[in-house]
Every structure is written in C-alpha cells, then in structure tokens.
C-alpha cells in the first residue's frame, strides 16, 4: 500500500495537533500522563504514514535502525535512576541534535545525485540544521560527561576562548555560504561538520556544574531549532511545528532558570561569575556562632511543632534521602503536624528535578510548593528542615549588596521559628560563599549524612 503526498501531509497535521494536545495535558499533573500518551500516538501516526511513502523502496536499513534505537531507548528509560534524570535529558538532547544533523546530511547528499542542484533556501536550511544539530550533539555530550562526572564539573577554558569560538562560528557560516554558491563542493560540508562539532565542545566546557540547569534547558531549545531547520530542508510542516514548539519550550525554561539564579544568559554562557566586593571570611561569619544539635534534640523540637517545611537541594539527591524524608513526613503527619516542601526553581540540576525525586518517594504533589507559594508561609512555620540545599537559602542574596549572589531570589527559611540545616560540614555551595544562615540564633546544624540524619530523627520521634 502507498499513500499519496496529500494523505501523508494530513497525517503529519494530525500528529502535530496531537503533540499540541499532549503538551496541553502537561498543564496539570492529573492530565499529564494522558497527554504524553496522546503525543506518543501522534508520533506513531506520523511514522506509519511515512513508511507508506512511495519513495521508500527498501526496508532493511529501516528495520535494523528502529530495532537498535528502540532497544537502546527502552533500556535507558527503564533503567535510569531518577537522580540521573539530568544526564538522561542531556543525552536525549544530544541524540535529537544528532538526528537533525544526519537527516539534513542525508538530504544534502541525496540532492547531489539529483538532476538539479539544491536551491538556495533548502541549502541554507541544511547548513543551519548541520551547524545547530552538531553543536547540540557535541555540547550535550560535554554536559552529559560533566553531570555523570566523567569529566570535572569545574569550568574549563583557556585565554582567548571567546575569540576562537567566534572564529569557529564565522568559518562555519562561510562554509555554508560556499555550499549555497556551489552545493557540489562536498569538502565544505565535512569542514562545516567538524567546525560545528568543535564549537559545541568549546561552548559547554567553560560552563560550571552549578549552571547545568541552564545549559540543559538551552540545549533542549537548540535541539528543537535544529529539527525545525531540518523541516525547512525537507519542506515538512510536522518538523517545523514540532521543532518550534520544542525550541520555545527550551527557551522559556532557560529564562526561568536564569531569573532564579539572577544571572544573565550571556554570563552563564561565558562562564562569568559576578565579582563580589570584599572576600567574605568564612571563619569570621561562623566563629562561635554555630550551634549544632543531635537528632534527638531535633526530634524533641519537632514534637511540639505544628507546621514543618522541608527544603531539599541537590544534596538530597546525592544522599538518596528522598524516601527517608517522606517517612519522616509520614511520622509527623501521624502526629498531626502539617508538612510541606519548599522547592527553589534551581534546586537540583535541572528544572523540576526535586519534584520528580520526591514524587518517586510517593510525596503527594500538592505538598510540593514553589518559591512564590512557600515564601509567605515561613513566618508561621515552626521548623524548617534544610537538606542538601545551601545557596538558595543564603540571606546574603537579600541583604548584602556587595555579594555576588545579591538579588537572587531565595527561600526565606530564616523567617521560621527554628531552622535545622542537615549538612556534612560548613563547606560552601556552588557559589563558594559562606552562608550566614548557619550562624543565626534560630539555626541548628545537624552534621552528618543526609539520609542517616533524617532516619535518626524519625527513630527518635517514634521512640519517644
């Protein structure tokens, strides 16, 4: 059976509409799963319709590719730990970029064999898809390696890196220009691909671990733009619509992340941290003012509490403490204590990461509050338990105009009656700053491994 081009285009329209409905479903947790299934069905329609295209004459290569891809994809999706979700998304961003690059490349070489050379606009679009797709591919591989700790999360660079990047980008554009002028010069195609691959590496290497949420969101956006460019090459509306939806999505998330860190996108991209006025001395901030508590003492304070807020950070993921936290919350709930969770937009290493971890531990999603919802409630909160979060609770962001993080929106945990900070030591967070919160009169430090500390509090509560 073969379908005419009209019917195939109608199938693509159906697929695009179902993607829109799918994203619409994500507006509420209740409808989200159904939305995802609708989008998946749309994808199936588009793929099946394409298989019935008259240009497809052999199926061996297709079957081999689909089998390999499906096995790899399914294994990744089933095996990945929720703590490793940022790496998974980085990997998928990269594969998306790689797919757009290879599709545009195939189109380019197919065009070489045709009677007429590739026209100007499809050639420009091919060049863009190759450039952006390859940058996304190699950039995402660097992001993945940093998140997986295959390479150091520290910013890496050399003097004049910006200049080299500008040179790479400029040369890539020149290559596209030559290809538009004469598509048969395949040498320029290969040079373009290599330049773009290098550019992707050099763009992400100077970005530090703390900025990974921004990078992942931005690469997500790039992968969408690359797909849209491939759509212009192929004259394919489904690719254009979907690519622009994904591009917009990544851009919105990038913007949210930048705002939540009070950093501009250019500062993140070039690995620039704001310069602090005077260097703060950690000993001066902490000396003689740190009060540490035992799990039993914390348990006693919790016994008399009416309202408790848990503030999680990436340390919670590192310690795999999400289940222990939920058990503690259940115990408190049984005692009639109200427990909620305050989640900063950049807690964790990607947008929404903490929410997924806590959902995995079966924390009901209506207990997860975002920054704007939780901040006004701290004054009526008896105990805040900060676990694995640091910079997002640092009052310097609110009070010290000279501080590099001044102006970053934070969770005002210090407004609560008592703050318990669960932490291994007084070491600084990503920003490298001391946190005066730890030295406040209403703060108790509970030193130790996050998971063990929470388990110990639970035990002392149950025993009493």
Partner 1 sequence: MDFVALLTLFVLAVFLGFELISKVPPTLHTPLMSGSNAISGITIVGALLAAGYHGEGNEIVRVFGFIAVVLATINVVGGFMVTNRMLGMFKRK
Q: What residues form DSSP beta bridges with 447? A: 423
Secondary structure letter of residue 292 according to DSSP: B
97 or 429: whose CB is closer to partner 1?
A: 97
Is there binding between residue 65 and partner 1 (CB under 8 A)?
yes
78, 278, 336, 441: residue in contact with partner 1 (rule CB under 8 A): 78
Closest distance between partner 1 and the C-beta of residue 328, in Å? 16
Nearer of residues 18 and 210 to partner 1, judged by Cβ:
18
User: b/e map of 158-170 (b: 16 or more CB within 10 Å)?
Assistant: eeebeeebeebbe
Write out the binding residues for partner 1, residues 182-221 only, by CB under 8 A.
216-217, 220
Comparison of 196 and 233: residue with beta carbon closer to partner 1: 233
Residues 155-174 that bind partner 1 (CB under 8 A): none
Given the residues 211, 391, 414, 456, the one annotated as active site: 391
Nearest CA to 328 out of 455, 158, 191, 176 is that of 455
**Region of 33-41, 203-211, 263-271, 374-382 interacting with partner 1 (CB under 8 A):** 33-41
Restricting to residues 339-358, name those near partner 1 by CB under 8 A. Answer: 343, 345, 350-353, 355-356
> What number of chain residues touch partner 1 (CB under 8 A)?
113
Please give the full DSSP string across 405-444, using - where no structure is assigned.
Answer: TTT-----GGGSSEEEEEESSS---TT----GGGGSTTEE
CA angle 56, 61, 66 (to 5 degrees): 100
Instruction: Give the integer Cα–Cα distance in Å for 401 and 394.
Output: 13
One residue of 3, 14, 36, 318 binding partner 1 per CB under 8 A: 36
Contact by Cβ (8 Å): 103, 381: no
Query: Tokens representing 352?
Result: 């929404």
Instruction: Identify the residue among 2, 4, 7, 28 touching partner 1 (CB under 8 A).
Output: 28
Q: Hey, which residues between 118 and 147 contact partner 1 (CB under 8 A)?
A: 121
Which among 215, 8, 7, 230 is positioned nearest to 98, based on CA atoms?
230
Report the nearest approach of partner 1 to the CB of residue 10 (Å): 14
Task: Confirm or reject binding of residue 102 to partner 1 (CB under 8 A).
Answer: yes
Q: Rank residues 197 and 238 by Cβ distance to partner 1 and give the closer one.
A: 238
Decide if residue 19 touches partner 1 (CB under 8 A): yes
Three-point CA angle 298, 301, 303, nearest 5°: 110
User: Exactly one of 7, 68, 281, 291 binds partner 1 (CB under 8 A); which one?
Assistant: 68
Chain CA centroid to CA 368, Å: 19
Report the nearest approach of partner 1 to the CB of residue 268 (Å). 17
Q: Is the CB of 68 or the CB of 272 nearer to partner 1? A: 68
| Structure-token pair, residue 77 | 């999706």
CB-CB contact of 389 with 347 (8 Å): yes
Which residues are 383's β-sheet partners? 308, 418
**H or E segment to which residue 89 belongs:** helix 85-113
The smaller minimum CB distance to partner 1, of residues 71 and 167, is found at 71
In which element (H, E) is residue 29 found?
A: helix 29-51
CB 387 within 8 A of CB 450: yes
Give CA torsion, residues 65, 70, 73, 75, to 10 deg. -120
In the complex, minimum distance from the CB of residue 44 to partner 1, in angstroms, rounded to a whole number: 9
Query: Counting contacts by CB under 8 A, is residue 117 touching partner 1?
Result: no
Select from 2, 5, 37, 462 the one that contacts partner 1 (CB under 8 A).
37
Under rule CB under 8 A, which residues in 256-315 are in contact with partner 1?
256
Q: Which one of the spans 21-29, 169-177, 282-290, 432-440 is the region binding partner 1 (CB under 8 A)?
A: 21-29
Q: Is 391 a catalytic residue?
A: yes
Nearer to partner 1, 177 or 190 (CB): 190
To partner 1, the closest distance from the beta carbon of 148 in angstroms equals 16
What residues from 215 to 254 belong to the interface with partner 1 (CB under 8 A)? 216-217, 220, 223-224, 227-228, 230-250, 252-253
In the complex, minimum distance from the CB of residue 50 to partner 1, in angstroms, rounded to a whole number: 4
Cβ of residue 239: shortest distance to partner 1, in angstroms? Answer: 6
Q: What sign does the CA torsion over 151, 155, 157, 161 have?
A: positive
CB nearer to partner 1: pick between 369 and 415: 369
Is residue 248 within 8 Å of 219, Cβ to Cβ?
no
- Look at the block and give the residue holding tokens 């807020």: 309
The residues carrying an active-site annotation are 391
């Amino acid at each position: 059976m073969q379908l005419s081009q009209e019917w195939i285009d109608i199938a693509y329209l159906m697929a695009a509409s179902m993607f829109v409905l799918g994203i619409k479903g994500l507006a509420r947790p209740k409808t989200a799963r159904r939305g995802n299934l609708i989008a998946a069905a749309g994808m199936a329609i588009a793929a099946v319709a394409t298989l019935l295209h008259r240009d497809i004459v052999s199926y061996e290569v297709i079957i081999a590719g689909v089998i390999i891809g499906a096995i790899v994809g399914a294994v990744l999706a089933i095996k990945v730990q929720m703590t490793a979700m940022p790496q998974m998304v980085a990997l998928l961003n990269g594969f998306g970029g790689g797919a757009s690059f290879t599709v545009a490349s195939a189109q380019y070489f197919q065009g070489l064999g045709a009677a007429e050379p590739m026209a100007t606009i499809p050639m420009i679009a091919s060049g863009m898809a190759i450039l952006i797709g390859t940058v996304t591919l190699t950039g995402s591989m660097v992001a993945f390696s940093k998140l997986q700790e295959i390479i150091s999360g520290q910013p890496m660079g050399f003097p004049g890196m910006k200049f080299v990047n500008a040179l790479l980008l400029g040369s890539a554009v020149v290559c596209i220009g030559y290809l538009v002028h004469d598509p048969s010069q395949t040498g320029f195609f290969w040079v373009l691909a290599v330049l773009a691959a290098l550019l992707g590496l050099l763009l992400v290497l100077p970005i530090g671990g703390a900025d990974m949420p921004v990078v992942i969101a931005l690469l997500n956006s790039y992968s969408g733009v690359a797909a849209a460019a491939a759509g212009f090459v192929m004259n394919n509306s489904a690719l254009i619509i979907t690519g622009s939806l994904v591009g917009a999505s990544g851009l919105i998330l990038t913007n949210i992340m930048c705002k939540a860190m009070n950093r501009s996108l250019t500062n993140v991209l070039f690995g620039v941290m704001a310069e602090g006025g005077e260097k703060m001395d950690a000993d001066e901030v902490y000396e003689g003012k740190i009060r540490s508590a035992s799990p039993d003492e914390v348990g006693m304070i919790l016994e008399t509490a009416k309202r408790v807020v848990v503030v999680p950070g990436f340390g919670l993921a590192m310690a795999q403490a999400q289940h222990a936290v939920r058990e503690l919350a259940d115990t408190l709930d049984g005692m009639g204590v109200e427990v909620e969770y305050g989640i900063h937009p950049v807690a964790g290493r990607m947008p929404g990461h903490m929410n997924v971890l806590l959902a995995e531990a079966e924390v009901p999603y209506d207990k997860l509050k975002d920054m704007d919802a939780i901040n006004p409630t701290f004054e009526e909160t008896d105990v805040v338990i900060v676990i694995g979060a640091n910079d997002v609770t640092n009052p310097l962001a609110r009070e010290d105009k000279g501080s590099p993080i001044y102006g970053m929106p934070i969770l005002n945990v210090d407004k609560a009656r008592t703050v318990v900070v669960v932490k291994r030591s007084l070491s600084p967070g990503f920003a490298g700053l001391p946190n005066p919160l730890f030295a406040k009169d209403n703060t108790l430090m509970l030193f130790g491994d996050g998971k063990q500390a929470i388990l110990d509090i639970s035990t002392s509560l149950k025993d009493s």
